[in-house]
Amino acid sequence: MHTEGSDELRVEGIEKIKAVRIEKLEGLRSAGINPYPYRFEVSHKIDELITTEAALTEAKTMLSIAGRIMALRGHGATTFGHLEDRTGRLQFYVRRDAVGDAAYRHFKLIEVGDIIGIRGTLFRTKTNELTLRVDDYSVLTKALRPLPEKWHGLQDKELRYRQRYVDLIVNPSARDVFYTRFRLMDLMRQFLLDRGYLEVETPILQPIYGGASARPFVTHHNALDIDLYLRIADELYLKRLLVGGLEKVFEFCKDFRNEGIDRAHNPEFTMMECYSAYEDYTDYMDMVEEMLRTIAGELTENGKVTFRGDEIDFNTPWTRIRFFDALEQVIGLDFRQMGMEEMLDVASRYQIDLDKITSPAKGLDLIFSEAVEPTLVQPTFVYDYPKALSPLAKDHRSEPGLVERFEPFIGGFEVGNAFSELNDPQEQRARFEEQAAMRSLGDEEAHMIDEDYLRALEYGMPPSAGLGLGVDRLVMIFTDSNSIRDVLFFPQMRPESR
RNA sequence: GAGUCGCUAGCUCAUCCGGUAGAGCACUUGCCUUUUAAGCAAGGGGUACUGGGUUCGAGUCCCAGGCGACUCACCA
């Protein structure tokens, strides 16, 4: 790319800044220095230097670290700067008489944002800052663009989301969120592996979508000439594996739902779904409680997190309340025997759009979301849901009209969904047919009839508990993030114009 | 989807009632061998999101569009 030439003087703005940096890059090349070499021998990460300083200084150990230059302060024949690697930030000190005239001259072609490796020994400056005295350095990567302002960092949320790589360079708080995210996923994975679960993978491209109520993305396979759906859940595949005898399985499942984007929703998001043969939903309430207590214990000092100003405590046993009891507790009415008219009256008190109440079950669902959910700040299980809302859950063993289902709530957020899994193939077929009827009435989110899944159930699926946890939402709670975009590296955005 | 707010230098932000578009950081140049938010000094850098309109004159007022943020409504 040749942007220079006769009108070089007219190159301004970011192009001018890049041109200057390219000029320095060429300066390095003409001095025989490759600005993009292949490797560098790193002896220590910066946090190791900090923690083992005394021994290293005592032994005058020759050290090497690598990272990005975040600050430079030149003073003629000396230069101070800060180098940052994944573990921390360290001051370095370059002297002309230590590195030599030529190397010092070439060092002037290095600037903030470049990645370098340095070798030297530790000392403390007269202001007592731990510093690496540089004997020798290597340019590792020349950067052509300047970093954002060092004090305020990158503030513009749009830029932070679109150019996450820059956000991660300059905003430590952004890095922290993602370290927490992936540590949480590791802890969840280890918790399940420790209990004999097998981590599996199931299809993302599915000929029939199911396992949740949502509109899917559709794509097309050319060779087979069929439409395929990006999965909205992996539930029905994991339960096929239970039929196959795998007994305990889980998957970190990227799901895709073709719906709106807002603070709590991204078109692709991550669920963790797990299933265990010979257990039921009460076992899984215990497990979820223990899992989150374990995770909170590892991620926090005291098992407590602050989310939107509320302190959430994972140490104490969770509140467990039945769906209708929760409604009664908040609203003061028994919804079990309530007629449609009275329900509509209640719904109108909570500013619910009455047109959305297409069935008694839907009305209960909406009233619950509006009136009860926001009150469930401390970890709470709501259980024993109306059957009509749960086509994949098993009938309640003693209460007709209910299913053995629970949802964990934290910080006013629904963070998951679990049940004793319906494994009666005839009952499942009947439930699918109800869904199909709703579909034909125009409910695009109702389930499709999955004949292969029914065939699998006909071979026999052991009594099982199943659970889906919304990973993104849990990360939001553990990082006190207000938006799902803050816990996804690359949230979905409209394409940049131009 | 609705409402509110925002978009000015690479970044962070000013520009008061419509009157020549400014600062800090970054960058360039000079000086400087323990500095540190930024050593000291000087200098360069602008399609004010886009397109219309009003006006002698628009970053500023009006209209339309683009992108985003926040709040609300719905789905995890």
Start-end of H helices in A31-150: 46-51, 53-58, 96-99, 101-107
A409 touches strand B (CB under 7 A): no
A146 touches strand B (CB under 7 A): yes
A304 touches strand B (CB under 7 A): no
- So what's the pLDDT on residue A388? 83
Nearest to A286 by CA among A212, A195, A153: A195
Residue pLDDT, tens place only, A231-271 = 999 999 999 999 999 999 999 999 999 888 888 899 999 99
* A217 token code pair: 């993305």
A131 touches strand B (CB under 7 A): yes
A156 touches strand B (CB under 7 A): yes
Q: Which residues 71-110 on A are within 7 A of strand B at the CB atom?
A: 71-78, 80, 82, 91, 93, 95-97
Nucleotide nearest to A256 (CA to C1'): B76
Residue A134: CA atoms inside 13 Å, Cβ hemisphere, count? 26
A212 touches strand B (CB under 7 A): yes
Quote the CA–CA distance of A404 and A392 in Å, as a whole number. Answer: 10
A17 touches strand B (CB under 7 A): yes
A497 touches strand B (CB under 7 A): yes
CA A498 to C1' B54, in angstroms, rounded, equals: 29
Q: Which residues 315-374 on A are within 7 A of strand B at the CB atom?
A: 351-353, 356, 365-366, 369-370
Residue pLDDT, tens place only, A214-241 = 889 999 999 999 999 999 999 999 999 9
* A372 token code pair: 């009860």
- Give the SS3 label for residue A338: coil
A309 touches strand B (CB under 7 A): no
Quote the CA–CA distance of A403 and A393 in Å, as a whole number. Answer: 6
- 8 A C-beta contact, residue A359 and residue A366: no
CA A69 to C1' B22, in angstroms, rounded, equals: 30
The 8-class DSSP code of residue A425 comes to: H
Nucleotide nearest to A212 (CA to C1'): B76
Nucleotides of B under 7 A from a protein CB: 1, 6, 9-13, 24-28, 31-39, 44-47, 66-76
Closest residue (CA) to C1' of nucleotide B68 is A158
A400 touches strand B (CB under 7 A): no
Q: How many CB atoms lie within 10 A of CB A219?
A: 12
* A34 token code pair: 């490759």
Quote the CA–CA distance of A209 and A448 in Å, as a whole number. Answer: 7
Q: Which residues 162-201 on A are within 7 A of strand B at the CB atom?
A: none
Torsion of CA A473, A259, A418, A287, to 10 degrees: -20
Quote the CA–CA distance of A141 and A396 in Å, as a whole number. Answer: 62
The ipTM of this complex is 0.91
CA A155 to C1' B7, in angstroms, rounded, equals: 14
Quote the CA–CA distance of A453 and A241 in Å, as a whole number. Answer: 11
- So what's the pLDDT on residue A9? 44
Closest residue (CA) to C1' of nucleotide B35 is A80
pLDDT in tens, chain A (498 residues): 333 333 334 577 888 899 999 999 999 999 999 999 999 999 999 999 999 999 988 888 999 999 999 999 999 999 999 999 999 999 999 999 999 999 999 999 999 999 999 999 999 999 999 999 999 999 999 999 999 998 888 999 999 999 999 999 999 999 999 999 999 999 999 999 999 999 999 999 999 998 888 889 999 999 999 999 999 999 999 999 999 999 999 999 999 998 888 888 999 999 999 999 999 999 999 999 999 999 999 999 999 999 988 899 999 999 999 999 999 988 888 888 888 888 888 887 777 777 777 777 778 888 888 888 888 999 999 999 998 888 999 999 999 999 999 999 999 889 999 999 999 999 999 999 988 888 887 777 788 899 999 999 999 999 999 999 999 999 999 999 989 999 999 999 888 754
A127 residue type, one letter: T
- So what's the pLDDT on residue A497? 58
Between the two ends of chain A, the Cα-to-Cα distance in Å is 19
* A3 token code pair: 């942007």
Give the number of residues written for chain A: 498
Pairing outcome for strands A88-95 and A115-124: unpaired
Residue A211: CA atoms inside 13 Å, Cβ hemisphere, count? 29
CA A358 to C1' B71, in angstroms, rounded, equals: 27
**Separation in Å, CA A384 to CA A139, A213, A419:** 63, 19, 9
A46 touches strand B (CB under 7 A): no
A446 touches strand B (CB under 7 A): no
Closest residue (CA) to C1' of nucleotide B39 is A75
CA A13 to C1' B19, in angstroms, rounded, equals: 27
**Phi and psi based region of residue A225 (left: phi greater than 0; alpha: psi -120 to 50; beta: remaining):** left
